[in-house]
Amino acid sequence: MANDVLTAAVWPRVLPAVVAAVLAALLLVVVSGWHPTPLTTALVTWFPALLWGMLANIQISVLAIALGTLVGPLLGVLQLSPVTPVRLLASWYVQLFRNAPALILIYFATYVFPFELHLGSHYVNFPDWIKVTLGLALPASANVAELFRGAIGSIPAAQWEAAASLALRRRQIFSWIILPQCLRRMLPPWMNLYATITMSTALASLVGVHDLLDSAQIASTTVNRVDFTIAVYFITLLLFFVYCYPISRLTQYLEKKYAFV
């Protein structure tokens, strides 16, 4: 029995090292007998461009979720406002942009915002990637607002009453007691939202942004080989997976950790 318990405790820690060792051994075997082919040469040539394109997707997703996280909590609070017009406007905003397709919002932002800004006697270009960022920030802010509103609503009313009985002001109750709990409850779905926004950035190439998918399309057209096209789109899929999968696993871990908070 003790041996079984010891094995159950040690094996999860040893398994990643074993898998890494096996993969390293296989890699050495493959590299030792590897000879360049037109396909592998083309993949090695274009792989840096794919990585550079992926950085554009990450940049857009980080900025979009950052803007959404800044605006979302304010909208979430406004949904709980006792002033009916304010509450309705915030609710309509959230419902509109939560239920709008990302592609439509990207096109909306692309054509609503000007192609250049007039600042005094100078004209400054308004890049398409910024428009895509703003387009994705709209659903991000709406979803963060709903997460924040739901987190506040999930706090038992007894905690508000208990804190009020200690003669704490409402701002102190919210800052010291309610908000920390809301942040812990919001974190897993917020991370899941970020992964969704990251995958939506693949639509940026449709409005002329030079991102990962656009790099893959250029590479496929330039090389013009069926096997290369299959491989380059598989690498595109793999890059998104490698970036988003750890976020998914961390989300699951945090959901279990904060399940009873």
Quick one: which of 260, 209, 255, 195 has its CA closest to 53? 209
Q: Quick check: is 117 in a domain? A: yes
How far is the C-alpha of 49 from the C-alpha of 109, rounded, in Å? 27
> What would the mean pLDDT of 140-161 be, rounded to a whole number?
84
> What would the mean pLDDT of 31-56 be, rounded to a whole number?
80
Phi, psi of 121 (to 5 degrees): -100, 10
Q: Quick check: is 202 in a domain? A: yes
Give pLDDT, residue 44: 84
Q: Is the pLDDT of residue 30 over 50?
A: no
Q: Quick check: is 128 in a domain? A: yes
Q: Quick check: is 57 in a domain? A: yes
Give pLDDT, residue 193: 94
Q: Is the pLDDT of residue 20 over 70?
A: no
Q: Is the pLDDT of residue 23 over 70?
A: no
Q: Quick check: is 207 in a domain? A: yes
Q: Quick check: is 14 in a domain? A: no
> What would the mean pLDDT of 254-259 be, rounded to a whole number?
78
> What would the mean pLDDT of 33-56 be, rounded to a whole number?
83
Average pLDDT value over all residues in the chain = 82
Supply the CATH number for residue 79's domain.
1.10.3720.10
Give pLDDT, residue 27: 47
How far is the C-alpha of 20 from the C-alpha of 5, rounded, in Å? 24
Q: Quick check: is 173 in a domain? A: yes
Domain enclosing residue 209, as ranges: 42-257
Q: How many domains does the chain have?
A: 1
Q: Is the pTM of this model over 0.85?
A: no
Q: Assess contact for 258 and 185: CB atoms under 8 A.
A: yes
Q: Is the pLDDT of residue 175 over 80?
A: no
Q: Quick check: is 20 in a domain? A: no
Q: How large is the greatest C-alpha to C-alpha distance in the chain, in angstroms?
A: 81
> What would the mean pLDDT of 3-10 be, rounded to a whole number?
46
